[in-house]
């Protein structure tokens, strides 16, 4: 468990961009996640990272549950407990001889943005899709796609990209977003970062199972990055 201090926090109704500073330096590879815990909660929750350098880590968080609602009230100087990083990063699963289209759905964009900064040579194209423009108030990056502004969704946009048959996809977002990607780009290699409700984050509680060609695996420990041809998303 590492203690961290809030350095900066920007919020909108549904999103938080949180910057924290860890007590000691940790290295988080894109695709890995950490467990963050507020003092008043017994269990932490998993968050993937949008940016990390030395002791500074940034998270892009969708306000969806009790803990993220509480996180909205964090102030600069507040402390948060962190443990991790956990999970197997993109770079250990993907094929390094390919280039990838990064497809993010909502806050699922975070680990992909992290990836694009660390491994630009592996990136073919990037689309970070959000439904409404609210996100722009706190996130100012290239390749943002806002559905209601463009009139199409990120996957429709991806269809028109100039990609070669050899390219692959890295995708992260809701389960439906991932399933839809899989359907649309069947002929490509797709690696997805899967989400799950997690209790422990380290393979102990058996709370995040996924069916794979090699039996039941835990998303926290054996993932969260999976080759989509190896998992059964309908299970």
Q: Pick from ligand FES, another protein, none: which does 42 bind, CB < 5 to 8 A by kind?
A: another protein
CA pair distance 233, 229, nearest whole angstrom: 10
φ and ψ at residue 177, rounded to 5 degrees: -60, -45
CB contact burial 190-204 (16+ within 10 A = b; e otherwise): bbbbbbbebbbbeee
List 10, 69, 137, 206, residue binding ligand FES (CB under 6 A):
206
Minimum CB–partner distance for residue 204 and another protein (Å): 5
Q: Does 201 bind ligand FES (CB under 6 A)?
A: yes
For 51-83, the three-class secondary structure string (H helix, E strand, C coil) is EEECCEEEEEEECCCHHHHHHCCCCCCCEEEEE
Give Cα separations from 182 to 100, 103, 110, 231 (angstroms): 14, 11, 20, 11
Residue 200 binding another protein, by CB under 8 A = yes
Q: Is 112 in the site for ligand FES (CB under 6 A)?
A: no
Q: Does 235 bind another protein (CB under 8 A)?
A: yes
Residue 224 as a binder of another protein (CB under 8 A): the answer is no
Binding mask 25-44 for another protein (x = CB under 8 A): ------------x----xxx
Judged by CB under 8 A, the residue of 25, 166, 204, 232 near another protein is 204
Report the interface residues with another protein, using CB under 8 A: 1, 37, 42-44, 81, 83, 197, 199-200, 202, 204-207, 209, 216, 235
């Amino acid at each position: 468990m590492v203690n961290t201090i809030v350095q900066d926090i920007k919020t909108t109704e549904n999103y938080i961009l949180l910057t924290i500073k860890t007590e000691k330096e940790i290295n988080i590879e894109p695709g890995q996640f950490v467990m963050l815990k507020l003092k008043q909660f017994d269990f932490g929750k998993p968050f993937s990272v949008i940016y990390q350098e030395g002791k500074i880590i940034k998270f892009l968080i969708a306000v969806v549950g009790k803990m993220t609602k509480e996180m909205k009230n964090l102030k600069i100087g507040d402390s948060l407990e962190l443990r991790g990083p956990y999970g197997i990063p993109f770079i250990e699963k993907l094929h390094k001889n390919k280039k990838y289209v990064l497809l993010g759905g909502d806050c699922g964009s975070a680990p992909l943005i992290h990836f694009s900064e660390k491994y630009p040579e592996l990136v073919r194209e990037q689309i970070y899709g959000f439904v409404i423009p609210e996100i722009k108030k706190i996130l100012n990056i290239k390749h943002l796609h806002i559905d209601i502004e463009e009139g199409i969704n990120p996957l429709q946009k991806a269809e028109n990209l100039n990609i070669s048959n050899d390219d692959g996809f890295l995708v992260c977002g809701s389960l439906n977003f991932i399933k839809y990607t899989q359907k649309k780009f069947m002929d490509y290699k797709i690696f997805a970062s899967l989400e799950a409700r997690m209790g422990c984050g380290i393979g102990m509680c058996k709370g995040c199972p996924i069916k794979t060609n090699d039996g039941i695996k835990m998303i926290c420990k054996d993932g969260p990055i999976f080759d989509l041809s190896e998992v059964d998303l309908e299970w």
